[in-house]
Structure 1
Amino acid sequence: MIVVRLVKRLGRRLSTRRWPAILIALASAVVTYALFLYFIFAYYLADDPRLVPDTFRHARRPVLITAHPDDETLFFSPSILYHRHDPHVTRSLLVISSGNYNGIGEQRQTEIHNSCAALGISLDHCVVLDHPELQDNPKKWWDERLVEEIVASYIKKWEADLIMTFDEGGISGHINHRAVSAGIRKYVTAKENAPPAFTLQSTWLLRKYSSLMDLIPSTVPFLWKILKNPVSPATIPGNPKSADRSLVLATGKESILLVSSWKTYLESRAAFGQHESQYSWDRMLYLVISRYMWFNTLERI
């Protein structure tokens, strides 16, 4: 009864106000809450075991595998910049094609190496391929077996202990992105000793371009886990592995939330700035409104 009376009272108050004022108030509340979540997850809970499982946090030789130059910054910035200042971590980037769809593959190869330098990735761990069967083409599905073989060779060469790549949706739906994901899935399922592989989760269009606003739905499962485990597992003496168990969702999959600080966001923008051939007004807008520039949600294969 108390709830009913409160709802009726709220309804009467809203009915006496003009809708523009109500909408402005609601929008302000949403923005404020999103900024609050950003502060909490980018600073206070950054690297918390309830958000990042041990398999990801303790990786020392992670490798990011993408389809084209600039994928590493437009989609994976929070992931590739994770632990960027840790001297014990060696990050690697493997780009399957040179992005030669418009005939500027050589320029884009130079740009990706400049981007790696801005990201703090050494040139010997920044490889761009130019295989005749794996050329940038939005209408061609790449040979999954060939992708699998190439990935396997670089995983072995770099002794990688973690893989990051696209999910089945490929974020933008690009057919090359999805083929890379399929090839890596084949590798992971075929190799018993394959390192843990995490895929960046695709979202529908409105969420993709809602910037920090998408933290509101994206943080729901993580907030639930934090409420269930109000004390970080990392702070429990003698129980270091409880963090992984606390992060497995009802589906039985490990999920990750990486939110870039303001400094990390600026670093990712600086890295994308090396891709001069890709700079345009819509990409400038993308750098602000895309959720992937601010945070990544990943799931283990």
Structure 2
Amino acid sequence: MRLRKIIIIILIPVLIWLITKYVLRPPNARTLSSHFAHKRIAMIIAHPDDEAMFFGPTLHALRQLAIQTNTESPALPETNLRILCLSTGNAENLGETRSGELRASAAHFGVPPSNVIIFDDPRVQDQMGVKWPTNAIASLVEPYLTDVDVVITFDHEGVSGHGNHISLNSFAQEYLSSQGDSQREVWVLKSTSIFRKYISFFDIPCTYVSNHFFSSHEERSLVVVSDVREYASTRDAMTQAHKSQMRWFRWGWISLSRYMVVNDLHLL
């Protein structure tokens, strides 16, 4: 009887994961493979470790897309992704260490060091309650956006409410409005409630239901879900690459955060 209960406890979340990943789809959600294929993409983050803590599912999906679309050399696919990090994360004088950690983490997602650009500008330093000036962000990143088709960054709540994250969304809003008739798209990572943020893969059905019933037909969304192997790789990117950041509460994030397994991107 005890064995049966254990099996049921294990199978229920697995079934939920499989059903929501492969069966349930909101009508206005777009697949990453059909929309981002052959496009040049820039992901704008605020600090080293943002890429693993928040965007892991998206980075894995982009890596798989590179493999699928590069038939000539599937083992070493050419990546169309560029990571732009606005600071070295030097709040505790670990900027040089954390910059190296970001490059090591990016390798977990198939992004070569040459595609990781890290800025160290006095106007945009790592500070929790500070919103960076959008003109300073623009002067740094816009030269790297001239040849891209898609920009990915945080939404107006910044997932964690971090002022630096929110600044990137403010820049994205202004940047998009200045593009006129340009076909360049900006996708933002949707923030959730504190409850949903810490229910891990149980938030996958919540994400699909939210997109299905509570999004307008005009709103375009993209839901990306990691499988177990991809989740493990994102976990390794944090634990093996970002060693300077692995305090006790990071283990809680790795174990419980929905952003480790599902990303909900929305088009501005």
The answer, yes or no, to whether TM exceeds 0.5 is yes
Judge conservation of contact 1:60–1:161 (CA < 8 Å) in 2.
Answer: yes
Secondary structure of 1:83's counterpart equals helix
1:174 matched to 2:174? The reply is no
For 1:79 and 1:221, how far apart are their aligned partners in 2? Answer: 19
Q: Which letter does structure 2 place at the counterpart of 1:123?
A: P
**Which residue of the partner structure matches residue 144 of structure 2?**
154
In 2 relative to 1, CA 194–125 (structure 1 residues): closer, same or farther, beyond 3 Å?
A: farther
For 1:43 and 1:92, how far apart are their aligned partners in 2? Answer: 29
For 2:210 and 2:129, how far apart are their aligned partners in 1? Answer: 36
1:82 matched to 2:61? The reply is yes
Contiguous gaps of at least 5 residues in structure 2: 67-76
Q: TM-score, normalised on structure 1?
A: 0.75
Listed one character per residue, the Cα deviations across residues 4-41 of structure 1 (whole Å, up to 9, x for unaligned) are: xxxxxxxxxxxxxxxxxxxxx9xx89x93x54332134
Q: CA deviation at 1:137?
A: 0.8
Secondary structure of 1:130's counterpart equals coil
For 2:195 and 2:28, how far apart are their aligned partners in 1? Answer: 29
Q: CA deviation at 1:42?
A: 3.5
Secondary structure of 2:92's counterpart equals coil
Q: CA deviation at 1:52?
A: 2.1
Q: CA deviation at 1:123?
A: 1.2
Correspondence list, 1:48-197, <5 A:
50-52=29-31, 56-85=35-64, 86=66, 87=77, 89-156=79-146, 159-192=147-180, 193=182, 195-197=184-186
Q: Which letter does structure 1 place at the counterpart of 2:97?
A: Q
Q: Which letter does structure 2 place at the counterpart of 1:165?
A: T
1:201 matched to 2:202? The reply is no
Secondary structure of 2:91's counterpart equals coil
Secondary structure of 1:198's counterpart equals strand
Q: CA deviation at 1:188?
A: 1.1
**Which residue of the partner structure matches residue 294 of structure 1?**
261
- Name the Cα RMSD after superposition: 2.6
Judge conservation of contact 1:69–1:109 (CA < 8 Å) in 2.
Answer: yes
Q: CA deviation at 1:63?
A: 1.5
For 1:113 and 1:265, how far apart are their aligned partners in 2? Answer: 19
Contiguous gaps of at least 5 residues in structure 1: 1-24, 226-248
Q: Which letter does structure 2 place at the counterpart of 1:185?
A: Q
For 1:224 and 1:295, how far apart are their aligned partners in 2? Answer: 18
**Which residue of the partner structure matches residue 17 of structure 1?**
none
Q: TM-score, normalised on structure 2?
A: 0.83
Listed one character per residue, the Cα deviations across residues 246-292 of structure 1 (whole Å, up to 9, x for unaligned) are: xxx52512111100011111111121120010012211121110000
Q: Which letter does structure 1 place at the counterpart of 2:248?
A: W
Secondary structure of 2:63's counterpart equals coil
Judge conservation of contact 2:20–2:204 (CA < 8 Å) in 1.
Answer: no
Listed one character per residue, the Cα deviations across residues 217-240 of structure 1 (whole Å, up to 9, x for unaligned) are: 211155569xxxxxxxxxxxxxxx
State the identity as a percent. Answer: 29
Judge conservation of contact 2:204–2:225 (CA < 8 Å) in 1.
Answer: no
For 2:206 and 2:194, how far apart are their aligned partners in 1? Answer: 14
Secondary structure of 2:151's counterpart equals strand
Which has the larger Rg? 1
Q: Would you say how many aligned residue pairs link Structure 1 and Structure 2?
A: 247
Secondary structure of 2:235's counterpart equals helix
Q: CA deviation at 1:88?
A: 5.3
**Which residue of the partner structure matches residue 73 of structure 2?**
none
In 2 relative to 1, CA 80–45 (structure 1 residues): closer, same or farther, beyond 3 Å?
A: farther
